[in-house]
Amino acid sequence: MARLRRRTCAAAVLALLSLVLLVAAVLKTMAPPAEHDPLDLQLFPHQDQDQGGPAQGGPGPGPGPADPPLGSRVEETASLKRFPPPNYDLHAFYYAWYGNPAFDGKYVHWDHPQMAHWDPKVAQAYPRGRHSPPDDIGANFYPALGAYSSRDPAVLEAHMQQLRTAAIGVIAVSWYPPGLRDDNGEPVDDIVALLMNAAHKYSIMVAFHIEPYKDRDETSMLKNVKYIVDTYGRHPAFFRHRTASGKVLPLFYVYDSYLLNSEQWARLLKHTESTSVRDTPYDAVFLALMVEEKHKRDILTAGFDGLYTYFATNGFSYGSTQRHWESIAAFCEDNGLLFVPSVGPGYADTGVRPWNFQNTRNRINGKYYENALSAALQAKPRFISITSFNEWHEGTQIEMAVPKAAAGPAPYLDYLPNRPAVYLEITRKWAAIFGSERQRWRD
């Protein structure tokens, strides 16, 4: 059995290397004309290559970006200059929870179970059970890199190349405290340093998307904000934002923030509270998730600095309904809040929620995504967030996907007749438009 496992792992590594080279080849076709191609980069860095790492010790101001980044970018090499410049006002939600036998000893998240509907009468009409990677995965699309591991340096390298090709300047990594995990995964905090090192190599910054971990409350949030700032705050890829008052602060997205009431959040976020992070070394920009319309007032009362909408399904929630964005933006402007609309290329999660067809949003060959980006720009936001770079379970990814023969209960979707990199190309186009519009709004 051990010999068979080694053969399987070796085969998996060789297959992954082939897929990575395929990704690089496809990205090559997107590159702007240049004397040297921007993707002539080493996919497997030398083990002795110094890529930096998170500094330990107190938070301090530390190096990090604002607007523009403050001295934290690596000097752009000739090869990096072949990529479009990163737009640090464009953030993509990033998931580092995937695993495979070669790097993790087993498949993680790719074997996601098919979830039961809450109504038993509805649930009995749909299949149950776990997916069986690598051919049958818990997703409606299939990644060009296969059922990869988020720990694989080659995968991180390929991801950073795709992000730079799309001109995305910041990734907001889904984060759980050390030792904690989501219901279907493993702890991810130990991957963050690897991710930040890879991001820094490509002048990409990393923010934190704090998930609703077990027993999250205002006390544990303070503890975990301190942990993040102390552990990662000196890393050159740690994202900071220059506020209207001139402060340069970390930025945190807080998912499902409504699970705590305004009074609880106020103890952490209001200047008047003795337990507040305000005007301490752990002060930050905190963005709450807005789902329902009433959350606007709750977010303001709680002391948050702004809000985001996350969901890629137009019409799923009040916050994700694009026709509401201009009025939400007006509310935020009147009350000194940041408004960060979240846009996505579509939505399809029936691979893990087989009964959820009503929330599917067809990509329409990129038109759905472009309409969402256009709607976001009309609201004149400070940042735009993208849901997502690689949330494969919900089919919101802009990461490269390839056609794949069905191996599970339903056929895979794909990006045809477009190329695997089509959503990177669309993102790159709108990153430039957003940058130009931001400049015009400032003028």
The residue ranges of every structural domain in the chain are: 2-32+62-442
| Dist. CA 75–CA 294, nearest whole Å | 46
pLDDT band at 443 (very low <50, low <70, confident <90, very high): confident
Contact in structure between 288 and 307 (CB atoms under 8 Å):
yes
pLDDT band at 75 (very low <50, low <70, confident <90, very high): low
Average pLDDT over residues 320-326: 98
Contact in structure between 393 and 352 (CB atoms under 8 Å):
yes
Torsion angle, alpha carbons of 118, 121, 125, 129, to 10: 40
Query: What would the pLDDT profile of 346-357 be if each residue is shown by its tens digit?
Result: 999 999 999 999
For 391, the token pair is: 């949330």
Looking at 7-11, 87-91, 140-144, 146-150, which range is the least confident one? 7-11
Cβ contacts of residue 293 below 8 Å, gap of 6+? 318, 324
Which amino acid would we find at residue 187?
A: P
Given the DSSP bridges, would you call strands 342-343 and 384-386 parallel, antiparallel or unpaired?
parallel
pLDDT at 361: 98
Integer CA distances (angstroms), 183 to 115, 180, 186, 213, 214, in order? 12, 10, 8, 10, 10
| Dist. CA 104–CA 113, nearest whole Å | 19
pLDDT band at 36 (very low <50, low <70, confident <90, very high): very low
pLDDT over 90 at 261, yes or no = yes
Query: What would the pLDDT profile of 131-178 be if each residue is shown by its tens digit?
Result: 999 999 999 999 999 999 999 999 999 999 999 999 999 999 999 999
| Dist. CA 135–CA 42, nearest whole Å | 28
Average pLDDT over residues 60-64: 38
DSSP secondary structure code for residue 399 in this structure: S
pLDDT band at 21 (very low <50, low <70, confident <90, very high): low
pLDDT band at 81 (very low <50, low <70, confident <90, very high): confident
pLDDT at 153: 98
Taking Cα atoms as reference points, which of 277, 312, 308, 313 lies closest to residue 295?
A: 308
pLDDT band at 77 (very low <50, low <70, confident <90, very high): confident
pLDDT over 80 at 47, yes or no = no
pLDDT over 90 at 65, yes or no = no
Pairwise pLDDT comparison (261 vs 443), residue with the higher score: 261
Looking at 54-68, 213-227, 303-317, 336-350, which range is the least confident one? 54-68
pLDDT at 74: 53
pLDDT band at 71 (very low <50, low <70, confident <90, very high): very low
Average pLDDT over residues 245-259: 97
Pairwise pLDDT comparison (3 vs 324), residue with the higher score: 324
Residue 164: phi and psi, rounded to 5, are -70, -35
Pairwise pLDDT comparison (396 vs 127), residue with the higher score: 396
pLDDT band at 341 (very low <50, low <70, confident <90, very high): very high
pLDDT at 44: 31
SS3 of 61-125: the string is CCCEECCCEECCCCCCCCCHHHCCCCEEEEEEEECCCCECHHHHCCCECCCCEECCCCCHHHHCC
For 325, the token pair is: 């964005």
Q: How many residues does the chain have?
A: 443
pLDDT at 61: 38
The residue to which tokens 């807080």 are assigned: 254
pLDDT band at 24 (very low <50, low <70, confident <90, very high): low
pLDDT over 50 at 72, yes or no = no
E strands, 108-224, where? 113-114, 129-130, 168-175, 205-210
Neighbours of 358 (CB within 10 A): 8
Neighbours of 362 (CB within 10 A): 11
In the chain, pLDDT over 90 holds for what percent of residues? 79
* H or E element, residue 94: strand 87-94
Query: What would the pLDDT profile of 274-294 be if each residue is shown by its tens digit?
Result: 899 999 999 999 999 999 999
Average pLDDT over residues 368-381: 98
Strand partners, 209: 174, 253
Record: fold of 2-32+62-442: TIM Barrel (3.20.20)
Average pLDDT for the chain: 87
Please give the span between the terminal C-alpha atoms of the chain, in angstroms, as a whole number: 67
Contact in structure between 377 and 140 (CB atoms under 8 Å):
no
pLDDT at 58: 39
pLDDT band at 18 (very low <50, low <70, confident <90, very high): low
